[in-house]
């Protein structure tokens, strides 16, 4: 239980100004584009907000999940990166802003919110105790508040440890992480059901929560990998990070690319095989009009390409290929969420133009801005963590 200061080679620096400026520019452009798109096509913009909402939720709460996972598993290799995940998960506080457009336009987004539709549809009536505006808003608020609390406690202890080097903070965080996990599982499932599955209220799939979870953890890992590699190149992280540290990031991304493909295939194959119209229509919607090309594309961009990039063992340690894979995976996750939600709004026609990239540009700008603000305030490496020295000595 030593509280000795463990010397590691880290000096706190800020994000390079070029990067912050890029973030700011993207933020402004994104804001303008979003406002324009609101003015020109309100419904479509609110529908797009669902995609960015679920995308940012997955990255942020997924990052908090990675933090909790590190505590529970007692992982050592990821300790130098944990602070990056903590910073990414700060976005949890900003996500409700992206939820507002759809909440203010329930009717344009959620079919089940139309009372006339419910009155004529037995299936919607059965679901009404769950799919109604009031309960929807309440449970989402509760989930976010609890997530905020977990963020505050977990990252608060971690930050405090930077100065106190107190090992009991690690113990506390392990307990908090243990409580977080089951709540995470249930809350993530609820988000997936509410914001993605209910867009097609006649459809259901018990594996849907797991599907969203697969995308969540993949995107959180990809985001972490990208940031870690970039920051290390610019010398902002602790000195002494080697390929061995990167290996696990690559291996985990590879593993979860496989996991996503497995879940996606299971969901598809079971519904295809049984051929029950009450379930198949959802996939058929994604096979008609131009959507069939997108469905094929999803398999390629989300599975085949990242798999091929990350398969060789050296690839999992090579910064270039890791960055490439991470970017593709993030794009693929966005693509996936788009593929999940858009066909419900636009059957037969694939809608993709500047409307769809307005929110992403805003989100990227916001993300970079947050990062540069945070980098001014806190250490980018948890220097007080008791495992940090072991982490720096980590070898495969």
Partner 1 sequence: MSDKKLYSITALFNTPDEISKAAEVVTNEGFKKFDVNTPYPVHGLSSRMKLKPSTLGYFALALGLSGAAIALLFMYWTMSIDYPMIIGGKPFFALPAFIPVTFEVTVLLASVGTVLVMLFFFFRLPNNSHPLHDTEYMKKVSVDKFGVSIEAKDPIFDAEKVKQLFASLGAEKIEEIYYDEEEINHKHKIFEPRFIAFLFVIAIVVSGGTYFTLNKLLYMSPFNFMLDQHRINPQTKTNIFADGFAMRPPVDGTVARGTIPYLYKDDPEKAGMLLSNPLLATEENLALGQKKFNTFCSPCHGYFGAGDSRLNGQFPNPPSLHSEKLIQWQDGRIYHVIQVGQNIMPSYSKQLTENEKWAIVLYIRALQRALNAKEDDLK
Partner 2 sequence: MSVDYTREVSVIEGNPSFSAVNELISRPLDERPDKKFYFALAITLSMLGTGAVCLGITFWFGTGVWGLNNPVGWAFDIVNFVFWVGIGHAGTLISAILFLFRQRWRTGIARFAEGMTIFAVMTAGLFPLIHTGRPWLDGYLLPYPNQHHLWVNFTSPLLWDVFAVSTYFTVSFVFWYIGLMPDFANLRDRAKSRIKKIIYSIFSLGWRHSHRHWHHYEMIYLILAGFATPLVLSVHTIVSFDFAVSILPGWHTTIFPPYFVAGAVFSGFAMVQNVLIFIRKIFNMEHIITMDTLEKMNKIMLLTGSMVGYAYGMEFFIAWYGGNPIEFFVFVNRAFGDYAWSYWVMVSCNLLFPQLFWFKKIRTNIKAMFVIGVLVNVGMWFERFVIIVTTLSRDFLPSSWGFFTPTIFDLGILIGSFGLFFTLLLLFTKTLPVVSIAEVKAVLDHAQPKHHHGE
Verify binding: residue 389, partner 2, rule CB under 8 A: yes
Q: Which of left, alpha, beta for 347 (phi over 0: left; psi -120 to 50: alpha)?
A: beta
Verify binding: residue 43, partner 2, rule CB under 8 A: no
Residue 13's SS3 state is coil
C-alpha span between 291 and 307 (Å, rounded)? 23
Distance of CA 149 to CAs 153, 194, 331, Å? 6, 22, 30
**Token pair for 106:** 């329930």
Choose the contact partner of 11 out of partner 2, partner 1, none; CB within 5 to 8 A by kind: none
Smallest Cα–Cα separation from 207: which of 118, 164, 251, 267?
Answer: 267
The distance of closest approach from Cβ of residue 182 to partner 2 in the complex, given in angstroms and rounded to an integer, is: 6
The distance of closest approach from Cβ of residue 181 to partner 2 in the complex, given in angstroms and rounded to an integer, is: 8
The distance of closest approach from Cβ of residue 348 to partner 2 in the complex, given in angstroms and rounded to an integer, is: 25
Of 273 and 320, nearer to partner 1 (C-beta) is 273
Positions 45 through 64 that interact with partner 2 (CB under 8 A):
none
Verify binding: residue 284, partner 2, rule CB under 8 A: no
Q: Which residues bind partner 1 (CB under 8 A)?
A: 265, 268-269, 272-273, 275, 311-313, 395
Smallest Cα–Cα separation from 93: which of 377, 361, 367, 378?
Answer: 367
- Among the listed ranges 41-49, 55-63, 180-188, 289-297, the one in contact with partner 2 (CB under 8 A) is 180-188
Contact 14, 76 (CB under 8 A): no
The distance of closest approach from Cβ of residue 101 to partner 2 in the complex, given in angstroms and rounded to an integer, is: 25
C-alpha span between 393 and 180 (Å, rounded)? 29
**Token pair for 72:** 């529970």
**Token pair for 74:** 């007692």
Positions 150 through 169 that interact with partner 2 (CB under 8 A):
167
Quick note: the x/- pattern for partner 2 over 115-134, rule CB under 8 A, is -------xx--xx--x----
The distance of closest approach from Cβ of residue 321 to partner 1 in the complex, given in angstroms and rounded to an integer, is: 15
Contact 67, 350 (CB under 8 A): no
Overall residue count recorded for the chain in this entry: 396
The distance of closest approach from Cβ of residue 112 to partner 2 in the complex, given in angstroms and rounded to an integer, is: 11
The distance of closest approach from Cβ of residue 396 to partner 1 in the complex, given in angstroms and rounded to an integer, is: 9
Distance of CA 248 to CAs 47, 243, 315, Å? 36, 9, 11
Verify binding: residue 270, partner 2, rule CB under 8 A: yes
Q: Which parts of this chain interact with partner 2 (CB under 8 A)?
A: 1-2, 6, 72, 122-123, 126-127, 130, 167, 170-171, 178, 181-182, 185-186, 189, 193, 204-210, 242-244, 248, 251, 255, 258, 262-263, 266-267, 269-271, 273-274, 276, 278, 313, 385-387, 389-390, 395-396
């Amino acid at each position: 239980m030593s509280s000795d200061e463990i010397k590691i080679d880290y000096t706190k620096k800020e994000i390079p100004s070029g990067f912050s400026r890029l973030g700011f520019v993207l933020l402004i452009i994104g804001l303008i584009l979003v406002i324009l798109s609101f003015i020109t096509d309100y419904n479509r913009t609110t529908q797009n907000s669902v995609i960015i909402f679920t995308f940012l939720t997955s990255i942020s709460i997924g990052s908090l999940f990675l933090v909790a996972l590190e505590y529970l598993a007692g992982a050592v290799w990821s300790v130098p990166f944990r602070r990056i995940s903590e910073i990414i998960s700060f976005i949890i506080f900003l996500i409700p802003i992206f939820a507002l457009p759809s909440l203010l336009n329930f009717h344009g987004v959620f079919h089940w919110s139309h009372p006339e539709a419910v009155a004529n549809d037995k299936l919607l009536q059965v679901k009404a105790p769950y799919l109604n505006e009031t309960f929807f808003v309440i449970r989402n608020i509760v989930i976010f508040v609890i997530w905020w609390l977990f963020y505050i406690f977990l990252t608060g202890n971690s930050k405090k440890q930077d100065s106190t080097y107190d090992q009991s903070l690690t113990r506390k965080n392990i307990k908090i992480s243990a409580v977080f996990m089951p709540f995470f599982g249930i809350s993530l499932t609820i988000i997936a059901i509410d914001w993605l599955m209910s867009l097609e209220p006649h459809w259901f799939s018990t594996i849907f929560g797991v599907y969203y979870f697969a995308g969540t953890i993949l995107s959180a890992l990809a985001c972490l990998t990208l940031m870690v590699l970039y920051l290390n190149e610019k010398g902002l992280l602790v000195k002494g990070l080697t390929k061995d540290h990167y290996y696990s990031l690559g291996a985990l991304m590879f593993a979860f690319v496989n996991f996503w493909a497995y879940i996606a295939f299971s969901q598809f194959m079971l519904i295809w095989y049984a051929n029950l119209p009450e379930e198949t229509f959802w996939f058929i919607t994604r096979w008609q009009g131009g959507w069939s090309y997108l469905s094929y594309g999803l398999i390629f961009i989300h599975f085949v390409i990242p798999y091929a990039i990350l398969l060789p063992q050296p690839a999992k340690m090579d910064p270039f290929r890791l960055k490439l894979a991470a970017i593709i995976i993030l794009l693929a996750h966005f693509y996936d969420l788009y593929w999940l939600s858009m066909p419900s709004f636009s059957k037969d026609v694939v809608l993709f133009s500047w409307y769809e990239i307005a929110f992403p540009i805003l989100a990227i700008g916001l993300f970079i801005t947050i990062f540069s603000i945070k980098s001014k305030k806190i250490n980018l490496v948890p220097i007080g963590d008791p495992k940090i020295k072991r982490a720096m000595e980590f070898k495969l």
